[in-house]
Amino acid sequence: MAEKREQLYEGKAKRVYRTDRPGLYLVDYKDDATAFNGAKKGSIQNKGVLNNLISAVFFRLLEEKGIPTHFVEQVSDREMLVKALDIIKVEVVVRNIVAGSLSKRLGVPEGKVLTEPILEFYYKDDDLGDPMINDYHIRALGLATPAQMNRITELSLKVNKILLEYLADKNIDLVDFKLEFGVHGGELVLGDEISPDNCRFWDKVTHEKLDKDRFRRDLGKVEEAYEEIYRRLTGKSM
């Protein structure tokens, strides 16, 4: 166990606290929801609890399959203990099915199944609205080294394979998701969260959206969607 100390940072969906254990932080998942780079604000009842539990399931699965993550242990309903990371300011989006910004940008209909995964990189900067960048920007601006980018690419594609296979079994299509990485003790590890906030999950048969798009697009049944993901992953209901 670790004792909670002072708050270090408050983001849109999480707070991060120092602990009495050097190199370990406590992440506290909030119910606050934002979309469109903070322009739309709201709250999703129990989202913090569900995202903490859902992320813990995914991090345990990935660790089991050899992916290094920041996850140490689940501490409470809303809190997990994680390794402190030097965050790499590159967000990675992996796509299997066309949706969201890709559909808008290239005029490809949502739902088109891609023949292979697409990897995209975005500069992690809220004030700029996370603009898309490529390998050249990343190298020339020193956001990450080529060795780090090779590892990030390798890990992102492995995570995609593991999650696709795991979720197929739960009757869920993994449409796309966003990952963040950082460095802890010289090792590159997966950070942030893996939840309906930063993944698109569709029911395999009905294509019903079971993720934050229900909030972004005012589709209703937002809490229910997060609960349904939790239920399919764990067999338990909240």
Positions touching ligand UDP (CB under 6 A) are 93, 99-102, 130, 176-178, 198-200, 212
Write down the least CB distance from residue 122 to ligand UDP, Å.
7
Distance CA 106, CA 15 (A): 35
Instruction: Tokens 């995202």: give the residue.
Output: 51
Nearer to ligand UDP, 19 or 198 (CB): 198
Nearer to ligand UDP, 27 or 75 (CB): 27
Sheet holding 4-10: strands in order across? 4-10, 14-19, 24-29, 79-83, 71-74
Beta-strand relationship, 199-203 and 172-184: antiparallel
82 forms beta bridges with: 25, 71
Write down the least CB distance from residue 166 to ligand UDP, Å.
17
Please give the helix or strand (H or E) that residue 50 lies within, else none. Answer: helix 47-64
Nearer to ligand UDP, 19 or 96 (CB): 96
Nearer to ligand UDP, 73 or 130 (CB): 130
Write down the least CB distance from residue 205 to ligand UDP, Å.
20
Write down the least CB distance from residue 84 to ligand UDP, Å.
21
Nearer to ligand UDP, 40 or 139 (CB): 40
Phi–psi pair at 85, nearest 5 degrees: -120, 150
Nearer to ligand UDP, 82 or 102 (CB): 102
Distance CA 58, CA 55 (A): 5
Q: What is the CA radius of gyration of the chain?
A: 17
Write down the least CB distance from residue 40 to ligand UDP, Å.
11
What length is written for the chain? 238
CA distances from 93 to 30, 99, 122, 199 (A): 23, 12, 8, 9
| 8 A C-beta contact, residue 50 and residue 238 | yes
Instruction: Tokens 């898309």: give the residue.
Output: 132
Write down the least CB distance from residue 6 to ligand UDP, Å.
27
CA 8 to chain centre: 20
Nearer to ligand UDP, 13 or 85 (CB): 13
Write down the least CB distance from residue 196 to ligand UDP, Å.
8
